[in-house]
Structure 1
Amino acid sequence: MPINPTGVSSSQSYSLFNQVRNRIEENEKQLISGQRINNAAVDPAGLQVLINLQSDILSNSSAIRNSMDGISALQIADGGVNQVNDSLQRIRELSVQAQNGILNDSDRAALQKEADALLSGISDTLSQSQFNNQSLLSEEGSVRLQTGSSADDGQDIQRFNVAGELGDLGLLSLNISDPGALDIIDQSQSYLSTVSGEIGASQSRLESGINRLTESNLSQAESASRIGDTDYAKALSERSAAQIQEQAGIAVQAQANANRGLVLSLLGS
């Protein structure tokens, strides 16, 4: 007949002790790492949701960086257009002055020399307005940006052949004394206003997308935190309860061992 004064077998007691010990170890991992889910066994469904949330956050962060690169490119293009506009304002002043009949040829030649220098600067500005070695104002085309986590989330940044358009208008070889010079300058400024408007619209769209992605990341980060981060109050409470159970189990087992020894000693007397 087995001697078991406590009514609990040694194997049962050992199994219960191991369960309590495992709970304590898991609580300690949560407290140290700050993560509630340190392995799939803790919460398989929660872990899958957490992985998906983290994947979306990383994808959105990459899309935000892409959009910021696009804004940087647009700011370079806009800066180039503004410089050209500033030069055109001065060229227009020179043209108005050159068409004053009271001036002589020498005066007009001096004014044309300044205008030519400004026109040369315009050509340089247009050719040098680049981002990552891609021309923004001297070649037509577009640059595709991935601005979201899905394949369909994208935005095209338009590139403009401003140099070609101004050349076709006759601006880059302008004779400021010619009666039609002012019309050419006005047409050029009108075209540049259109380009500037399109650049501004593209930039606004990218900024709006960044705000949307940032808000999405904040919401997803909060959800990920609720699922994956350690609730320290709860973890500490559970660890304390498990430690009490562990100590109680040790005490019960010690008492059982003592009782078993007493019974054996009585039987042997």
Structure 2
Amino acid sequence: MRVTNSMMMNRMMLNMSNNLKRMDRIQNDLASGVRIHKPSDDPIAVSRSLKIRTDISQNDQFNRNVGDAQSILEKTEHSLNELNNVLQRIRELTVQASNGTITPDDMDKIKAEVVQLKEHIIRAGNDTYVGRHLFSGFSTEQKLLNEDGTVNVNIDYGNLNNQNIEYQIGISARVKVNLTGSEVFGAIQDDNKPKLISDIDKLITSLERGNNLEVSNSIQDIDDNISNILRLRGDIGARISTIEVIRNRIEDTKINFTRLLSETEDTDIGESIMKMNMYESVYRASLAIGARVIQPTLIDFLR
């Protein structure tokens, strides 16, 4: 086979171009910090990278849901604590009023304070979080109670127990973030008021009559309502604890996903520098050899 000078030069230029391309690719990897610039660079790694990025995005949404759920539950727990404090004060006043030696004037003062505390309870029942009512079930834009303690006609009070608002905080994990009015205030009574409000109204009526026995009988009703509030606070506390555990798990998962994404996409700096030095040596060698191949001409032989 005849090897011409033109063939040697073409082969030399092709090899030099290939060496330069390898150097350019490694230099691009080092400069950008990633080794995948287009799908053809590593189709399998690109597919894996897209899946990991999808998982990270989903994990971030779960983390946002956890934050929202925890805020709602903490606000609900605050409202329950407020209700508990008010009911405890009403109980103290009820015990005081059940004393047979109390004067009518003192009875009137106790009644006036109980009326004020009742109004406080109604306001707590209409508590909101970012404009959404906490105890109104799905009808978050509607307040639960009217100013007189009756149930808002726009609230389907009898069906509130089935109106659970849930947040998805994991692939197969959901948490209930609300308490309904029927859970907190009890079943609706004949006067269209929840049991808790109706019990306080009966207490106020007994105080107006000055009937110590009826007032004394109201203590058990108040105790029942306090027990219910305490039970609900325990339930909310358990949910908050569960959410905190899940939040920690989500944060750990994000760290793992970020590490996997880095291993898939990022440039191995040490390895790339080693390759860069090797490719540079090869390129310099090809230049030196090319100079020797190109150098001989007819003039060199005529000297």
Question: TM-score under structure 1 normalisation?
Answer: 0.88
The answer for the alignment partner of 1:175 in structure 2 is 203
CA contact (8 A) 1:167 1:173 kept: no
Q: Which amino acid aligns with 1:154?
A: R
CA contact (8 A) 2:166 2:175 kept: yes
Matches within 5 A, 1:122-201: 122-128=121-127, 130-139=128-137, 140=160, 141-148=163-170, 150=171, 152-161=172-181, 162-163=184-185, 165=187, 167-169=194-196, 170-175=198-203, 177=207, 178-201=215-238
CA contact (8 A) 2:63 2:169 kept: yes
- Say whether residues 1:233 and 2:270 are aligned partners: yes
Moved more, 13-22 or 86-95: 13-22
The answer for the alignment partner of 2:154 in structure 1 is none
- Say whether residues 1:213 and 2:250 are aligned partners: yes
C-alpha displacement of 1:2: 4.9
- Provide Cα deviations, 1:35-60, integer angstroms capped at 9, x if missing partner: 12222222221121112112101110
CA contact (8 A) 1:29 1:38 kept: no
The answer for the alignment partner of 1:84 in structure 2 is 83
The answer for the alignment partner of 1:103 in structure 2 is 102
The answer for the alignment partner of 2:295 in structure 1 is 258
CA contact (8 A) 1:171 1:188 kept: no
- Provide Cα deviations, 1:120-155, integer angstroms capped at 9, x if missing partner: 111101202x2233322344322121223x4x4433
Q: Residue 77 of structure 1 aligns to a residue in which SS? A: helix
CA contact (8 A) 2:69 2:177 kept: yes
CA contact (8 A) 1:138 1:164 kept: no
Evaluate the alpha carbon distance shift between residue 265 and residue 201 of structure 1 in structure 2; reply closer, same or farther with a 3 A threshold: same
In the alignment, the residues of structure 2 paired with residue 227 and residue 138 of structure 1 have an alpha-carbon distance, to the nearest angstrom, of 48
CA contact (8 A) 1:20 1:242 kept: yes
Q: Which amino acid aligns with 1:100?
A: N
C-alpha displacement of 1:174: 4.4
The answer for the alignment partner of 2:36 in structure 1 is 37
CA contact (8 A) 1:123 1:163 kept: no
Evaluate the alpha carbon distance shift between residue 138 and residue 117 of structure 1 in structure 2; reply closer, same or farther with a 3 A threshold: farther
Q: CA RMSD in A?
A: 2.2
CA contact (8 A) 1:138 1:163 kept: no
In the alignment, the residues of structure 2 paired with residue 34 and residue 136 of structure 1 have an alpha-carbon distance, to the nearest angstrom, of 49
- Provide Cα deviations, 1:170-199, integer angstroms capped at 9, x if missing partner: 334242642222111101011112211221
In the alignment, the residues of structure 2 paired with residue 266 and residue 253 of structure 1 have an alpha-carbon distance, to the nearest angstrom, of 17
CA contact (8 A) 2:29 2:267 kept: yes
CA contact (8 A) 2:135 2:178 kept: no
In the alignment, the residues of structure 1 paired with residue 135 and residue 200 of structure 2 have an alpha-carbon distance, to the nearest angstrom, of 15
CA contact (8 A) 2:9 2:294 kept: no
The answer for the alignment partner of 2:66 in structure 1 is 67
- Which runs of 5 or more structure 2 residues have no equivalent in the other structure? 138-159, 188-192, 208-214
Q: Which amino acid aligns with 1:155?
A: V
In the alignment, the residues of structure 1 paired with residue 239 and residue 200 of structure 2 have an alpha-carbon distance, to the nearest angstrom, of 27
Moved more, 80-89 or 29-38: 29-38
Question: TM-score under structure 2 normalisation?
Answer: 0.79
Evaluate the alpha carbon distance shift between residue 88 and residue 266 of structure 1 in structure 2; reply closer, same or farther with a 3 A threshold: closer
The number of aligned residues is: 261
| Identity of matched residues, % | 24
- Say whether residues 1:52 and 2:51 are aligned partners: yes
In the alignment, the residues of structure 2 paired with residue 83 and residue 173 of structure 1 have an alpha-carbon distance, to the nearest angstrom, of 19
